[in-house]
Chain A
């Protein structure tokens, strides 16, 4: 896949404090790349550097098809983390203005606005003022503003925050479909489990530093051990004697067994005692969030207080 955007050795200071350390990653054409990390990790700062809204103190940002010409603003769609639109303006007016600023033909914009409003269940809201919309509806309008001009690169900062599950699904589906059509997508989120389902590659960040970077599959095979969730009442001692278990987490209706690295699930299952009470059982890799916490803890980027072992 062609590389659309490269970030190399990005560093940024706020006052005397270094908030980004040597951040490097790429976004390729037609992929969904996720920058993941908790609040305050440096995701938005990274994105603002890419957008040229603030300027990096170190490192370079390259848009490969537009080399040497700065930021190709009209080819980028951007949904900032801080959501906002002019309050006392009609939906159609603001969307047309934003499309016009991207030099997108107005007639085409009008058609696309109508189509998107329909898709997002906002049909007939063209002449409604932003302040009369619910928060979720306004967020949909902002999303439309970001994708309206058919950007080649779509940057979404926390696209799912504040959305109800139904709207989250609509957004996810739309993001997937845009990527299939060849749009490069860079999104950030602190809700890792939400993003896990759609992204191709991840860049995990904590305290302005890289935690892990790679394709979702690679990260998972490299770091995600298996966990076995058992529903059904069992004796603690009984569970403790099962081999290759790193730790056990008791739940009201059962237990979660975190397995050691390199465990082969098929083999491991055979070692389960015959008299184990199992109503339901799943074997799964641990989630991105759990991986993030594991690695960040190992790299001393997270204090003991949030460590998963507690």
Chain B
């Protein structure tokens, strides 16, 4: 164990003294934050552009009501009265964008259809949005029939259907108080630790890919034999895994040091309060298992390759394994307890990321699934460590050449 720690310490020190590692260490969180800022900027500018100017040719006296409706529904409309006639509209719209002319005419009231002329460039949801005005027109229309206020309200009362699923009911058959504020808080309670775990997982998976470089470099520099005259292959491999784990944690720490103040400042979320919960521990545990799995794979594969540019399909395929969860993100977001999500939680290569995603989204945690998934993950880690040990032992000394899958298979069986 002592030798393992010495190797680990060396890998940490060597990287921390390496300029390119230091640059990427600080560049990663900066890129995150820069993209977050750019995202905000782009969002903001889109909002400004999407303001639609709506001219109302109002023969019905509905304008004040329409204005009120637009305000209530927070529609991005700039409502203006106009006296432009239908025949002039074509010329008016020629060179304008995000502009519409609505003709509220007596004929329209009779036929039930009001013409709306729009510029070529329009918000995609414009037609759906202006349907909200139909209620207002209707109330104006009914008002002209001379009914009382009360009769009016009764007639205009909308009827809706509300879905209540069984798990929202308490023992007395009452619906939980669905206060939107607490719902948001509940979501954050899960999402913050999950995001934290995500950052850790991201950092250590990235550094686990550095293990690959490290093992392959050792082979290329032909230093493995000197090191192995002092330590066993197991000690060397474990030392690398421990060392890069620490480097991964340093990366995670640096990201968090940048990200937490940024999030607090930008979104005003009490991050630390949400972070210090027991869930965080489970999330971190899952991340660490994920790291160990990929670290084992990469240290093994790295030891079979002297040169990544001549890597065969086999090694290239394995390098892509950490990206497997990407295929499942869509289905998992659609349905966090669906079949795809379950399958992805049972595949060791995707389970760490998918499990964290699902647990962040699910209200009730499927403990049995979590247990099975963790069991599969733990067994896989153990198995891949064994395999990696066998491959590493032979591969690291096979200087100057990449091993074929057949050779690797032979070492595993040996």
Contacts and interface: CB of A to CB of B under 8 A. Distances in A.
B72 interface: no
Nearest to B7: A101
Interface in A181-236: none
Contacts of A76: 229
Interface string A107-147: 00000000000000000000000000000000000100100
Interface string B1-44: 00100110010011001100000000000000000000000000
B395 to A, nearest CB: 13
B386 interface: no
B397 A101 contact: no
Contacts of B222: 80, 82-84
A116 to B, nearest CB: 16
A86 B230 contact: no
Nearest to B13: A93
Residue among B17, B18, B222, B225 facing the most chain A CB atoms (10 A cut-off) = B225
A51 interface: yes
Given A84-B221, A87-B221, A88-B18, A102 B230 contact: yes
Given A80-B226, A84-B221, A87-B221, A101 B14 contact: no
Q: How large is the interface on B (under 10, 10 to 19, 20 to 34, 35 or more residues)?
A: 20 to 34
Interface in B91-118: none
B406 to A, nearest CB: 12
B228 A142 contact: no
B18 A97 contact: no
B156 interface: no
A53 interface: yes
B227 interface: yes
Nearest to B14: A89
A136 B92 CA distance: 84
A100 B6 contact: yes
Interface residues of A, number: 27
Contacts of A54: 397
A51 B233 CA distance: 12
B77 interface: no
Contact of B230 (A74, A82, A87, A89): A74
A85 interface: yes
Given A53-B397, A97-B10, A100-B6, A82 B229 contact: no
A301 interface: no
Nearest to A81: B225
Interface in A31-48: 48
B6 A101 contact: yes
Contacts of A283: none
B224 to A, nearest CB: 8
A86 B70 CA distance: 69
A84 B226 contact: yes
A86 B223 contact: yes
A89 B214 CA distance: 13
Nearest to A73: B230
Contacts of A83: 222
A82 B306 CA distance: 14
B228 A98 contact: no
A101 B221 contact: no
Contacts of B227: 98, 101
Nearest to A82: B222
A48 B228 CA distance: 10
B399 interface: yes
Contacts of A258: none
Given A53-B229, A78-B225, A88-B18, 16 more contacts: A53-B228, A53-B397, A74-B230, A76-B229, A78-B226, A80-B222, A80-B226, A82-B399, A84-B226, A85-B223, A85-B226, A89-B14, A98-B227, A100-B6, A100-B10, A142-B226
Interface of B: 3, 6-7, 10, 13-14, 17-18, 217, 221-223, 225-232, 397, 399
14 contacts: A53-B229, A73-B229, A74-B230, A76-B229, A77-B229, A80-B229, A82-B222, A86-B221, A88-B18, A93-B17, A100-B10, A101-B6, A142-B226, A145-B226
